[in-house]
Amino acid sequence: MNTHSNLLSPEFRALSARLGQDPLQVQGPGGNTSIKSENVMWIKASGTELANAQTTDIFVAVDRAAAVAEARELAGDGSCKTTGLDPNITLRPSIETTFHAALEWPVVAHTHSIATLVHAISPEGRTALADKLDGLPFVVVPYAKPGLPLTREILNRVTPQTQVIILQNHGLICCGSSVQAVDTLIRDVEARLEMPTQDAAFSSPPSPAADGFSWSEHSWLGQNARAADLALSGTYYPDHVVFLGPALATRDSAATPPAILKRGEGVLLRDGASISQKAMLKCLSDILLRLPEDWSVEPIGAEAEAELLNWDAEKYRQALAERS
């Protein structure tokens, strides 16, 4: 079958790379882009990084009709593992292939935009967002586990005109008829939702880091009382759970948390922490730096965290108790 490899134009790759290289848009392997024509869709592969879109083969071609059937729960299990068109490409389609396929727009970009997350994790933020995006064809979708559960929620709310989708406690989706149209739309949404950074006083931690750790450059999170409370109160978007675990730990344990928050001192970062773990700690810092003092926040909750980690609920509660 023709995979329409010409869809992977320099413009599409450039947009994907620009988003992936901007930590205010995408952190680590998060986010994904897709482009489709007729019954072929190219989408970022699972585990790859948008930042490498211009230098590495990170996209995989899928049979769009087969992916839509999985999105509509008429076939498959929602993973789209069997929808690949080229047997020589061993990459697996993104876990979010179903919503990319089901949305009718030719170009779809999904990011974990910091500006969007600041609004999307807060009831007051979502109210402000509705005013800021007035005039754009947007919808707000409640939090759901990435993959088929999220696709269900999206399809229950979008119309053929919807081009901006705000994912509560998750991120942003922008859709359009061309790469340029989506690029312009993302820039417009980002400009409307941009938030000023707060003045976060920071001083060097008072004591040396524990063996096997160093003090993070984001140690203000431990020195600011409100930021510390929020960082320890729960997790606010899926990738935090995946890469850093639930909330931030307050002490070391057998679970070897990559980051440990010490109130009044800072944040300890484990030696050998991955690039993705560091990126997610920066993500948390970037969000809390922009969160207004009078906005509250809503974590995704312990049940959603356990679901992301594929843990039995009781084992998960026990693990949480060990962290406190």
98-134, pLDDT tens digit by residue?
999 999 999 999 999 999 999 999 999 999 999 999 9
CA nearest to 249, candidates 224, 231, 237, 264: 231
Q: Which amino acid is at 23?
A: P
> How far, in Å, CA of 280 to CA of 1, rounded?
39
Mean pLDDT of 190-213: 91
pLDDT score for 2? 74
| Spatial CA neighbour of 221 closest among 289, 146, 277, 293 | 289
DSSP string of 230-265? Answer: HHHH---SHHHHHHH-SS-BSS--TT--SEEEETTT
Gap between the Cα atoms of 49 and 37, Å rounded? 23
- CA dist 43 and 99 (Å) reads 11
Q: Are 82 and 92 in contact (CB under 8 A)?
A: no
**Helix runs in the chain, H state only:** 10-20, 64-71, 97-102, 114-120, 123-132, 148-155, 179-193, 220-223, 225-233, 238-244, 275-290, 302-309, 313-323
Question: Distance (Å, rounded) from C-alpha 228 to C-alpha 226?
Answer: 5
Confidence class for position 314, pLDDT limits 50, 70, 90: very low
0.85 exceeded by pTM = yes
Q: Which residues, at least 6 apart from 18, have a Cβ–Cβ distance to it below 8 Å?
A: none
| Sign of the torsion formed by the C-alpha atoms of 165, 167, 173 and 174 | positive
- Give residue 312's pLDDT: 54
Residue from 193, 39, 36, 9 nearest 111 by CA: 193
Res 319 pLDDT > 70: no
Residue 324, pLDDT score: 46
Calculate ∠ Cα 38-40-41, nearest 5°: 115
pLDDT at 299: 98
Whether 3 has a pLDDT exceeding 90, the answer reads: no
Going by pLDDT thresholds of 50, 70 and 90, the confidence category of residue 156 is very high
Q: What is the CATH number of domain 5-193?
A: 3.40.225.10
Q: What's the mean pLDDT in 67-79?
A: 96
Q: Is 1 a residue whose pLDDT tops 80?
A: no
Of 88, 61, 91, 93, nearest to 76 by C-alpha is: 93
On average, the pLDDT of the chain sits at 94
Q: What is the pLDDT of residues 238-281, one digit of tens each?
A: 999 999 999 999 999 988 999 999 999 999 999 999 999 999 99
Is residue 13 very low, low, confident or very high in pLDDT (cuts 50, 70, 90)?
Answer: very high
Q: How far apart are CA 139 and CA 4, in angstroms?
A: 31
Q: Which amino acid is at 307?
A: E
| Mean pLDDT on 47-73 | 97
CB 265 within 8 A of CB 207: yes
Percent of the chain with pLDDT over 70: 95
pLDDT band with cut points at 50, 70 and 90 for residue 206:
confident
How far from the centroid of its chain's Cα atoms is residue 284's Cα? Answer: 12
The phi-psi region of residue 12 (left if phi > 0; otherwise alpha if psi is between -120 and 50; otherwise beta) is alpha
310 Cβ contact partners less than 8 Å away, ≥ 6 residues apart: none
Would you list the domain boundaries of the chain? 5-193, 213-323
| Tally of CA atoms within 13 A in the half-sphere of 239 that contains its CB | 24
